[in-house]
Chains A and B, each alone.
Chain A
Amino acid sequence: MNRSALLEQLAERCRHGLRAAGAAPRYQPTGFTALDALLPGGGWPLGALNEIMPAQPGIGELSLLLPALIALARSGRYLALIAPPWLPYPPALAQRGLPLAQLLLVQPTTPRDALWATEQTLRCPAFGAVLAWPAQVEERSLRRLQLAAEAGGSAGWLYRPTHAAEASSPAALRLQLEALPAGALQVRIRKVRGGAPGAVVVHPAAAA
């Protein structure tokens, strides 16, 4: 690299840094037009915590995120899955187009370690998305995770039980999911920063 190219690159990085500092929060389209229409910014907020509260497992709660995860991974960022209750199945993820090389599975042995790992990965700018299945989270821990996501600029998705919706949370977006017939998924927005609650039906095509 010659000297002028190097200086130009440095200057570009400085300009980019200035833009990033004053920029509004960024969004990642969900891949579902109906859902994007309900979300301020038109997608998942990045640099923020999102809560997903499925009524039961196996209704498309992971498939709902896949279009966004694939887009984030293709932009070169890494994905972390922390303490999932079952094994994310690599052949299925590869079929849908997720680059496996950018996926990291973290299986800590204690709930405390799982929270710590979630915070560490959220804080690292290399991770574009962090999906975590915490056993129990207090509001104080949620606040830490929200701050970590803001620092790292990544999207954090926490899978939580439906009754968690009763307690308050600093998350930017909180969604409840319910299964409908024929593979459809009802997405109920319990809270969204800068927007209003609402509900929408999507088809995440989880099943064949």
Chain B
Amino acid sequence: MLWLCILPPPLDAAALQRLGWWAQQWSGDISVRAAEAEAAATRSDPSLRHDVLWLEIGASLALFGGLAALLARIEAALGELDYPFRHGMAPTPAAALLRARAGCSAPCADTAALQRSWRAFRLQWLALPEATLAALAASGLTRIDQVLALPSDALARRFGPATTRALRRLQGLEAEPLPRLGLPTRYHSRCEFAAEVHDTQALRFPLQRLLGEFQGYLRARDRAVQDFTLCLEHAHHAETRLQVGTAQPERAAARLLALLALQLEKLALPEGVRALRVEARRFTAPSVLQQDLFDAAVEQQQQWHETCDRLRAALGPGALSLPRLQADHRPERAYRYAPVADAAGSDHAPVAAPRPCMLLPEPQPLAAPPQLLAGPERIESGWWSGEDATRDYFAACDARGSRLWVYFDRQRGGWYLHGLWS
């Protein structure tokens, strides 16, 4: 076991939990403890109360290429989140916390090194109750190695069983009861600003942090998103909601940021922004295609998806669609245009009767019967659909040579233009 303990700046409970989810990209065993809980547990000096994040990284070392490589990654990622933080590392959670508090970030990877290190740490870093610390100091005990040299039953008698328990946990002789952080099924994160932000450009930086956390969460769950929402909260106005949809599962913060940037560029803020929120409900399995760089077809598909995402972000989700066939003999119902993310294929066979390449959105009444070229093809709409109609369709042409698809409405009478043989 090797524990990395991170002391972030003071956070609210939700933010601390999000930091925990973010950290799950490095380790499956994460615990967080809020400053209040810490204080309640120890009744210690307020200056020693911290929000604490623990990661068990011993099991992750091989995966990430060793301690130095893993630490470099974690430090770089923390730097991206722009949290000033302190950290410590030791074989026990308590010792890792002790080292983090003392500002000693040098790794201490094994128990032997840990035993040799006690001399360097003063007792006050142990966050014992203030009264206990005072009593220990009165006995001339200020360093950890000094108390550890004493017989534990004598210590327990004089300074209470809590003191010996803390020391046993410090050395790993007793397990530290840390609740392991689970994962939520919905994602929600929020970032509130000290002052209202009026320029969408200025939102980019906090957004980068929010999406960085989101990416960590997605990696930890081995999940990706195809749609999520960014909410911009205002003081008086209803919040501005930006929907982001991608054609294929996505989790790279940089790509999500690029898509949001396209929308933010065009956005006129009704009012300053007080807070940002990222919300996601639906998750999908990540796309394995992203890894395969050597297949031209895969690369082409990737490019197609990226272009679609860019178009959709700039033009709105309704602007893009894919044609599909539907099994229906009525010309208006024989197709639909589906959203790009809709993966369902169209496996219906098209009708055998000739159809024109272009269809008018609504049939248009014709003033005079056109010159008919071929037909009729009788199409009856179902009485069940409530629009009982019988139409005789013809290929026709007009005076200038345009070829038309027209029908005669047998119920109401009259000729209609429905398509063009473009």
Contacts and interface: CB of A to CB of B under 8 A. Distances in A.
A185 B289 CA distance: 45
Interface stretch (B249-257, B274-282, B348-356): B348-356
Given A94-B350, A95-B350, A208-B354, A56 B401 contact: yes
B359 A104 contact: no
B346 A101 contact: yes
Nearest to B418: A89
Given A58-B402, A100-B325, A207-B373, A89 B356 contact: yes
B345 interface: yes
B361 interface: yes
B47 to A, nearest CB: 56
A180 to B, nearest CB: 7
Contacts of A28: none
Given A87-B359, A106-B319, A125-B303, A206 B422 contact: yes
Interface stretch (A37-45, A109-117, A162-170, A195-203): A109-117
12 contacts: A58-B420, A76-B297, A86-B420, A89-B355, A91-B351, A103-B323, A104-B340, A106-B319, A113-B319, A124-B303, A206-B357, A206-B403
A169 B340 CA distance: 34
B310 interface: yes
**A-side interface size class:** 35 or more
Given A76-B297, A125-B300, A179-B400, A88 B357 contact: yes
A86 B421 CA distance: 11
B307 interface: yes
A190 B346 CA distance: 40
Interface string B340-380: 10000110001110111111110000000000011000000
A117 B311 contact: yes
Among A6, A85, A100, A178, which residue has the most Cβ atoms of chain B within 10 A? Answer: A100
Interface of A: 1, 6, 9-10, 55-63, 66, 76-78, 84-95, 100-101, 103-109, 113, 116-117, 120-121, 124-127, 178-181, 183, 206-208
A127 B310 CA distance: 14
Tell me which of A76, A84, A92, A127 has the highest count of chain B C-beta atoms within 10 A of its own C-beta.
Answer: A92
Given A62-B358, A91-B355, A57 B422 contact: yes
Contacts of B395: 207-208
Interface in B296-347: 297, 300-301, 303-304, 306-308, 310-311, 314-316, 318-325, 331, 334-335, 337, 340, 345-346
B383 interface: no
Contacts of A91: 325, 331, 334-335, 350-351, 355
B419 to A, nearest CB: 6
A49 B340 CA distance: 26
B335 A109 contact: no
A126 B300 contact: yes
B294 interface: yes
Contacts of B320: 104-106
B276 to A, nearest CB: 27
B207 interface: no
